[in-house]
Structures are given as C-alpha cells and as structure tokens.
Amino acid sequence: MHTIQELQQIIDKAVKETAYPATPKELYEPISYLMSLGGKRLRPALVLMATDLFGGAIEDAISPALAVELFHNFTLMHDDIMDKAPLRRGKPTVHAKWNEAVAILSGDVMFVKAYQMMIQVKPDILSSVLAIFNETAIGVCEGQQIDMNFECRAQVGIPEYLEMIKLKTAVLLGGALKIGALIGNASEKDAQNLYDFGVNLGIAFQLQDDILDVYGDPEKFGKQVGGDIISNKKTFLLIKALELAKGAKADELNHWLNLKTFDSKEKVKSVTAIYDSLGIRQLSEELMNDFADKAYQALDSIHLPETQKQTLNDFATLLVDREH
C-alpha cells in the first residue's frame, strides 16, 4: 500500500510530464496554465488509492487519474466563466487572462483530453469505466446548473441543497473511487460501496467547506473568512439559519441579506453572531459527521482487511478534520 503523499507525488509528476501540442496556443496554453496552478489533487489521488486498495497496479490507474483531474479542471474553467470569477487559486482565471472564447474552447478540448486519458484503461473494463465517467460528468453539470438556479431563488430547502452539493462535488469523488476500484479488479459490490463512501465523504467535505468559510482560522484558511456571508451564498449554514430564525432574529438576518451597501466586517460579525445564537455551527458539524459516518460505514462493508483500508480511512479523517 502506498501512502497518500506517495500517491500525490505520482500525480504531480504525471501532471508535470503531460505535454500538449504547441499550436493553436490559445487552446493548449490555458490547459497547461490551469493544471499547473496546483490544488489538492484530491480526485486523482482517490483513483490511485482505490486501485491500490484492491491490489491493482498503480501504473494502470495513472492515465485515468489524470483524466479525472483534467475533467475537474475543465469544469473549473467553464464554471469560472459562468460565475464571472476573476481568480482561481489566487491567480487570474483563464477567461480573465485570455478571454471567454478561449476559456470555452480550451475547456472543450480539455474535456476531450480527459476522455483520451480515460480510454487507456484495459478493454474489458472500458465500457463500465466510461459509463461511470459519463454519468459523473452529467451529475457535475447538473449540480452546477442547480447551484446557479439557487442564486436566483429566495428560498432553498435543506434536502435540495444536499442534493446539489452531492451532484456538484460528491459524485466526482465517488466516481473517481469507483473507476479506481474497477481498475483494481474490485467486485461490482465493493466498487459500489467505495462509490457510496466517496459520495458521503464528498458531502461531508462540502459541508466542512461551508463551516470553514465562517468558522475557519483566518491564519490557516487561505481564503477570506466570511466570503459566503458577504455574498449571501446559500450554504447549509444560511439555509438552516433562515429556517430556524424567528421574530426579531429573522428580521435582523433578512436585514443583512437585503442591505445593498454595508461594511463587510460588520456584516460577517453580525451574521456570525446570529448563527452562534441559533447553534448553527453545532448543527452543521453534526450533519457533517452524519455523512462522514455513512462514509465510514460504506468503507467498513468492503470485503478487505482493515489494515488495507487504513489509507482511505486516514484520508477521510484528513478531509473532515482539515482546517483549510
């Protein structure tokens, strides 16, 4: 079994060694640029971990792992256009650095490159792997659309919020693991359990993101704490607070949500105080732990010795207990 660090090094090396054609440079430079910005390489690591878990050869999983990372970065390139985001990982987004047309078309090519990497799996699992990859890709797109729709809506319920983050974030973690499991010759049942582990872990991961955005340590978080509050982003914390706040507290929360001009620090402080008074942090952590527990249960039911599952267990703990 490989350690998480070993697997991440394998991925970093493979990403660095991937060469793209020189021309048209408007298509290929943005791919190299975005892929070089780093990130946690979480999703490709999950492909390798899953293959390793079932005793498969890591080398067989490298191309599919890169495919998953290319796909993830393709969705970031297109999402950033739609969200009009100026920065990604502290650097200009592709549409900001080049232009929108470049970000659309370069993203499209990146998606094809992902398929080129993915079809390098062995022929006997090609059809199953692609079926998972396609379904995952559609889920991620649906999640992004639902997320954009939420921005235009006054009210969003908790179940539909959870469904959105499941699609937008969690299914790709599940898909990455399931593809890795198939490469490692796992049984369909074990592969499905690993998928469920990934999806539940993914939901916990996103809830932790929501929590850190409000309660993270500014020194460690890496982004502006309170960003979600400033932009009225409909996270679990806000949706739950809107559900629980009554009377004067509801009025105060809505007052902050409706203000067009405000002092950011003051808004973050006031809304956080409302969250505190409603016990939102605890409720969020309980829900996150519920999903983490479901993930651990799915991992438990896989037919392998506990010691082999330790890396994934550690990885899950790392994601849920992280501070950034």
- Positions touching a copy of itself (CB under 8 A) are 24, 26-27, 78, 81-82, 100-101, 104-105, 108-109, 111-113, 115-116, 119, 123, 126-127, 130-131, 134, 137-138, 141-142, 144-146, 148-149
What's the closest the beta carbon of residue 85 comes to a copy of itself, in angstroms?
12
CA separation for the pair 164, 150 (Å, rounded): 9
CB of 243 to a copy of itself, least distance (A): 23
For 72, residues 6+ apart whose C-beta sits below 8 A from its C-beta are 43, 172
- H-helix or E-strand containing 87? strand 87-88
Q: Which is nearer to a copy of itself, 160 or 290 (CB)?
A: 160
Using the minimum distance from each CB to a copy of itself, give the nearer residue, 127 or 258.
Answer: 127
CA-wise closest residue to 65 among 184, 162, 147: 184
Which CB atom, from 139 or from 216, has the smaller least distance to a copy of itself? 139
Which of 153/260 has CB closer to a copy of itself?
Answer: 153
Give the shortest CB-138-to-a copy of itself separation in angstroms. 5
Provide the sign of the torsion angle of the four alpha carbons 49, 50, 55, 59, taken in this order. Answer: negative
Q: How far is the CB of 166 from a copy of itself (least distance, A)?
A: 14
* Minimum CB distance to a copy of itself, residue 301 (Å): 30
Q: Are the C-beta atoms of 70 and 76 separated by less than 8 Å?
A: no
- Is 75 or 193 the residue whose CB approaches a copy of itself more closely? 75
Determine the 3-state secondary structure of 86 from DSSP.
Answer: coil
Picking from 171, 186, 196, the residue whose alpha carbon sits closest to that of residue 50 is 186
